[in-house]
């Protein structure tokens, strides 16, 4: 019997009951706006910010409308100037270059290396050539570069680092939470990330001036004193009338949904990693697949898994993906020249200056990606892994025996 998976690759877990109850209470109160409070009330948004700051071990936290908005705001708050160069890795998702462009900057793309993280040699080269003073570092698909080494490079070059932690909420490098190595960090609470309010984001930092400016920019209507996780009011004095309002706040409804999810993030990480390890073990049985070995210092969140199918000829990539899909397994291929859903490639961002990253191209050309929603059981992961291995073997067998004469050529 042919193996088939009948589950859904984009189905998330329900919102915890506690979050639903709290959200209903917020709706009953009618006070959804974060600054709409009655005497003595601490709104959900403020509580969430406090809890997130405590969780990360940072002084300041601002909740906002989305992860992409957090990135834009961080760039503005750091003082990005019009058309200024911002370094970023060439392997990331479209909200990253989008945020740089929205904030008025100019993305300078840096190569990745065999471990899917930013290539530090290319970072040095590009930082010298561009004289950039900013790096928007995307921990893409949860792969964390050697942060100690990266910070040495950036400190030497006088580069400030904003970490994009959309895929590393709950992860650590060298026993420090991801998002606490650079100058500031941005997180996402969008449905496909590690906590889910549909849309949502956070900015965190230890820098008072930066956080005051970010808070004003987010649209604080001069009510910043109603925050708990931002600097004291006197830090705002010199900038409050000179900082534009770019509304993008979080509301109490979303915060209510997120708070119990944040409280159980550690448990979710354990569930993700359990599933990741099962998939890793099954896929690793195939000699035709290469998986990523992670550094001992990297405590990642296995909410997705990547693998390389090096033996697959380029004409066979399409049939391999189709074959998996016929059996219910949705693979993403990062080498696809046409950006489908999340398989965004840097050369499809045609609103930025064309740049050439041959090393990144070569790596992405055989890179596959699989999401691991927590609605998958352990048995689901076993099954999905087996299907991928079987499909790859079938395709490779066809590849060695050559295409049938009568078959139309693969595109």
- Positions touching ligand PLP (CB under 6 A) are 66-68, 92-93, 95-96, 138, 140, 164, 166-167, 188, 190, 201
d(CA 228, CA 277) in angstroms, rounded, equals: 39
Q: At closest approach, how far in Å is the CB of 299 from ligand PLP?
A: 19
Residues shown for the chain: 411
State the Cα torsion 43-169-383-2 to the nearest 10°: 90
Nearer to ligand PLP, 188 or 343 (CB): 188
Shortest separation between residue 372's beta carbon and ligand PLP, angstroms: 15
The number of beta carbons lying within 10 Å of the beta carbon of residue 357 is 21
Shortest spacing between CB 201 and ligand PLP, in angstroms: 5
Residue 224 C-beta: closest distance to ligand PLP, Å = 23
CB nearer to ligand PLP: pick between 189 and 387: 189
- Rounded to the nearest whole angstrom, what is the least distance from the CB of residue 69 to ligand PLP in the complex? 6
Matching residue, tokens 């904003």? 162
Q: How many CB atoms lie within 10 A of CB 232?
A: 10
Q: Give the span between the Cα atoms of 308 and 283, in whole angstroms.
A: 11
3-class DSSP state of 163: strand
- Of the pair 238, 247, the CB lying nearest ligand PLP is at 247
User: Is the CB of 32 or the CB of 169 nearer to ligand PLP?
Assistant: 169
In angstroms, what is the minimal distance from the CB of 140 to ligand PLP?
A: 6
DSSP 13: P
Residue recorded with tokens 């409280």? 263
Q: Compare residues 93 and 123 and give the one whose CB is closer to ligand PLP.
A: 93
Residue 370 to residue 278: CA distance in whole angstroms: 13
What is the bridge-based pairing of β-strands 160-164 and 172-173?
A: unpaired
Q: Are 335 and 365 in contact (CB under 8 A)?
A: yes
CA-CA distance, 286 to 385, in Å (whole number)? 10
Q: Which is nearer to ligand PLP, 134 or 396 (CB)?
A: 134
Task: Report, in Å, the least distance between residue 313 CB and ligand PLP.
Answer: 30
Closest to ligand PLP by CB, 166 or 279: 166
Q: Which residues pair with 164 in a beta bridge?
A: 138, 186
Q: What DSSP designation does 330 have?
A: -
């Amino acid at each position: 019997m042919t193996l088939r998976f009948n589950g859904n690759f984009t189905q998330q877990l329900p919102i915890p009951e506690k979050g639903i109850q709290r959200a209903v209470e917020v709706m009953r109160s009618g006070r959804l706006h974060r600054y709409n409070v009655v005497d003595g009330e601490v709104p959900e948004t403020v509580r969430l910010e406090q809890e997130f700051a405590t969780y990360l071990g940072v002084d300041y936290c601002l909740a906002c409308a989305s992860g992409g908005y957090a990135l834009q705001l961080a760039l503005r708050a750091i003082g990005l100037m019009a058309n200024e160069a911002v370094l970023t890795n060439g392997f990331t998702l479209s909200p990253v270059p989008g945020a740089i462009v929205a904030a008025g900057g100019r993305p300078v793309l840096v190569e990745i290396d065999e471990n899917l993280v930013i290539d530090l040699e290319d970072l040095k080269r590009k930082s010298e050539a561009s004289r950039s003073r900013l790096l928007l570092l995307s921990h893409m698909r949860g792969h964390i570069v050697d942060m100690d080494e990266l910070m040495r490079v950036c400190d030497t070059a006088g580069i400030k680092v904003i970490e994009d932690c959309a895929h590393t909420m709950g992860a650590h490098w060298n026993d420090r939470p991801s998002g606490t190595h650079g100058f500031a960090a941005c997180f996402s609470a969008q449905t496909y990330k590690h906590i889910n309010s549909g849309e949502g984001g956070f900015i965190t930092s230890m820098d008072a001036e930066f956080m005051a400016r970010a808070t004003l920019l987010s649209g604080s209507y001069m009510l910043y004193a109603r925050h708990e996780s931002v600097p004291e009011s006197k830090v705002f004095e010199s900038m409050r009338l000179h900082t534009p309002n770019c509304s993008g706040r979080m509301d109490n409804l979303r915060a209510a949904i997120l708070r119990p999810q944040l409280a159980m993030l550690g448990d979710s990480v354990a569930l993700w990693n359990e599933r990741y390890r099962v998939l890793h073990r099954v896929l690793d049985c195939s000699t035709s697949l290469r998986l990523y070995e992670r550094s001992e210092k990297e405590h990642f969140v296995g909410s997705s898994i990547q693998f390389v199918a090096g033996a697959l000829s380029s004409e066979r990539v399409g049939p391999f993906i189709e074959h998996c899909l016929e059996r219910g397994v949705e693979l993403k291929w990062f080498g696809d020249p046409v950006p489908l859903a999340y398989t965004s490639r840097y050369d499809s961002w045609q609103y930025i200056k064309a740049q050439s990253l041959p090393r990144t191209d070569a790596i992405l050309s055989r890179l596959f990606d699989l999401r691991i929603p927590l609605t998958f059981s352990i048995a689901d992961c076993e099954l999905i892994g087996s299907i991928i291995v079987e499909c790859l073997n079938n395709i490779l067998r066809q590849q060695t025996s050559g295409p049938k004469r009568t078959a139309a050529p693969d595109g």
